[in-house]
């Protein structure tokens, strides 16, 4: 009876796909299924890259679509290396990249560490904190442009309250010294929640038994933080730095919305000039 049952199960069990398609191995079958996706990704990424490299050797302008691009050799690359304005833009971009990533990682990790503690209203605070990153850059730019108004801006009023100075004396968007920092503040406010979520995922991936073993060894909370928490969250922090570095290097819309690259060209990033 048992032998008959085994035979019926064996007959009812479908044969592997590789056996049905004669002459093809499992590896070949896998490549057949994966190939369309690979070709699609190559078409989406490789073709635009090759096209962009080709255009870099021409005098192509996006606002002159009716004019046929002419081959000019390495002139565009010579301009990048010799134009002083572009080097100033690179300095502004480096300043923007460094400080935004620094503050976002510092504040984001701190918020993630606090939210990871179990307390009442944990989920509510998490939802409130992540709201800024759900807004479009155009909305955020207009919102902060209003906050930065010298006469009626809330940000200027708060700064004036703590410094004892006239709020109208702070030209956040019109001052050569303050305009770069005004953009850093806005980008930090908008994207710190993103870094916080990545750090929070890293903190919650740490097994509890590691901390329990450290408690048995009588390790202090400070030592646990620097020998367990920080090393295990570090890969998540590096991922957050990579994502934010790529996004901020091509920052365009928020800067144009707030300052338009001014005053002068102190907030003109490479993404705006190039």
The pLDDT tens digits of the residues spanning 231-247 come to: 999 999 999 999 999 99
Mean pLDDT of the region 50-72: 81
18 vs 77, higher pLDDT: 77
Between CA 271 and CA 259 the distance in angstroms is 14
**Mean of the per-residue pLDDT values of the chain:** 85
Q: Give the rounded distance of the alpha carbon of 174 from its chain centre.
A: 27
Structure tokens, 169: 């004396």
The pLDDT tens digits of the residues spanning 2-18 come to: 555 555 545 555 555 44
Q: Which of 191, 189, 198, 274 is nearest to 240 (CA)?
A: 198
pLDDT at 63: 66
The pLDDT tens digits of the residues spanning 8-49 come to: 545 555 555 445 556 677 888 888 889 998 888 888 888 888
CB 272: neighbour CB atoms within 10 A?
17
Q: Which of 273, 251, 3 is nearest to 137 (CA)?
A: 251
As beta bridge partners, residue 189 has none
Give 227's contacts (C-beta < 8 A, 6+ positions apart). 214, 219
Name all domains of the chain by residue range, CATH numbers in brackets: 2-76 (no CATH), 83-273 (1.10.3720.10)
End-to-end CA distance of the chain: 79
Between CA 237 and CA 231 the distance in angstroms is 10
Sign of CA dihedral 207, 210, 213, 218: negative
Structure tokens, 249: 């290097």
pTM of the model: 0.78
In order of 26, 116, 136, 151, 182, the CA distances from 155 in angstroms are 63, 30, 20, 10, 10
Give 244's contacts (C-beta < 8 A, 6+ positions apart). 100, 101, 104, 191, 194, 195
Structure tokens, 144: 């902060």
The pLDDT tens digits of the residues spanning 102-139 come to: 999 999 999 999 998 877 878 888 889 999 999 998 89
Buried b / exposed e along 118-147 (16+ C-beta atoms within 10 A): eeeeeeeebeebeebbeeebeebbebbbeb
């Amino acid at each position: 009876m048992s032998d008959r049952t085994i035979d019926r199960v064996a007959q009812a069990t479908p044969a592997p796909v590789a056996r049905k398609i004669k002459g093809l191995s499992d590896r070949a079958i896998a490549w057949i299924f994966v190939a369309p996706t690979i070709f699609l990704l190559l078409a989406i990424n490789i073709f635009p890259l090759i096209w962009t490299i080709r255009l870099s050797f021409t005098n192509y302008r996006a606002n002159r679509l009716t004019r046929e691009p002419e081959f000019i050799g390495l002139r565009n690359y010579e301009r990048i290396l010799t134009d002083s304005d572009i080097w100033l833009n690179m300095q502004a971009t480096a300043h923007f990249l460094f400080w935004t990533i620094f503050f976002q990682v510092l504040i984001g990790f701190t918020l993630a560490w606090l939210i990871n503690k179990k307390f009442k209203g944990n989920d509510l605070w998490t939802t409130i904190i992540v709201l800024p990153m759900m807004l479009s850059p155009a909305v955020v730019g207009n919102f902060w442009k209003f906050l930065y108004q010298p006469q009626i801006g809330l940000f200027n009023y708060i700064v004036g309250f703590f410094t004892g100075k006239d709020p109208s004396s702070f030209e956040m968007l019109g001052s050569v010294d303050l305009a770069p920092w005004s953009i850093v503040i806005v980008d930090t406010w908008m994207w710190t929640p993103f870094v916080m979520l990545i750090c929070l995922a890293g903190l919650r991936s740490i097994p509890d038994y590691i901390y329990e073993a450290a408690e048995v060894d009588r390790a202090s909370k400070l030592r646990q933080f620097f020998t367990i928490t920080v090393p295990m969250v570090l890969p998540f922090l590096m991922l957050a730095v990579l994502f934010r570095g790529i996004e901020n290097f091509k920052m365009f819309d928020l800067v144009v919305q707030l300052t338009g690259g001014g005053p002068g060209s102190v907030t003109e990033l490479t993404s705006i000039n190039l």
